[in-house]
Amino acid sequence: MPSPYYETDLKEKVLSGSHRELIGGLWDKMGRMQLDFMRDQGVQPHHVLMDIGCGALRFGSQAVDYLNPSHYYGIDISEELLDAGYNKELTDRQRERLPRSHLHATESFDFSYLNDQRIDRALAQSVFTHLPMNHIRHCLIKLAPVMKPDGVFYATFSLCPDHHNITEKLIHPSGEEVSVEVITYDIRDPYHYTLEDLEYCAKDTPWKFQYLGDWGHPRNLKMAAFFMQD
């Protein structure tokens, strides 16, 4: 089952005004959660931040007010979602702080649009849940060259615990805000992964994997960190 972000009618859904629902809803809660998490990890206004899978700027609409002007960047597979976020979710003042050129549509984690800009911190919220393992590895490889030497990349994922047969579907406990049962799979979207899977993805790359665990996500996504290493 392909990711819903590849659906041919995505553009029509965005144009109909469904961009918030398309990226999972929980707009205010998740946007604030992401900002609070990044601040707890030491992100300061002077840091340059990359939001991978930024969609319609659920997090971006929060981060742009916290970061120094022009310090937020984002990529997403959908140009339509980027346009919806920029035009409908940002105020005029926020658009002054975030040039539209800082948002880039790509299907292959193409960060070349950054030119010489380097990133302090990156975040991928609910991106790995929609990616096969080799795509995660591809993301790590493509991101590494644009990070600063002490850069950190945070990414959420659905954890398959050791006691569970990874080939079987996994039902995740979820918060009361989530009305539908969250189920993940090993070879179809949404995916679940073991800690060993993510450690393997980082093998022979400039990244070192560290499991951070629970951070209060209403769909029980866990947090991983990847640190640049010499």
Helix (H) or strand (E) holding 214: strand 207-214
Rounded to whole angstroms, the Cα distance separating 146 from 139 reads 12
- The whole-number pLDDT of residue 101 equals 98
Kindly list the averaged pLDDT for each block of 10 residues, start to end, along the chain of length 230.
52 64 72 97 98 95 97 95 94 98 97 98 96 97 98 98 96 82 94 98 97 95 94
CATH number, domain with residue 123: 3.40.50.150
- The whole-number pLDDT of residue 174 equals 82
Q: How open is the CA angle 211-166-219, to the nearest 5 degrees?
A: 55
- The whole-number pLDDT of residue 177 equals 78
Among all chains, which residue has been given the structure tokens 């769909």? 219
- The whole-number pLDDT of residue 10 equals 67
- The whole-number pLDDT of residue 1 equals 36
- The whole-number pLDDT of residue 2 equals 44
Total-model pTM = 0.92
Q: 112 burial class (0-12, 13-18, 19+ CB within 10 angstroms)?
A: exposed
What is the tally of structural domains in the chain?
Answer: 1
The encoded tokens of residue 152 equal 């950190």
Q: Which residue segment(s) compose the domain that 78 sits in?
A: 4-228
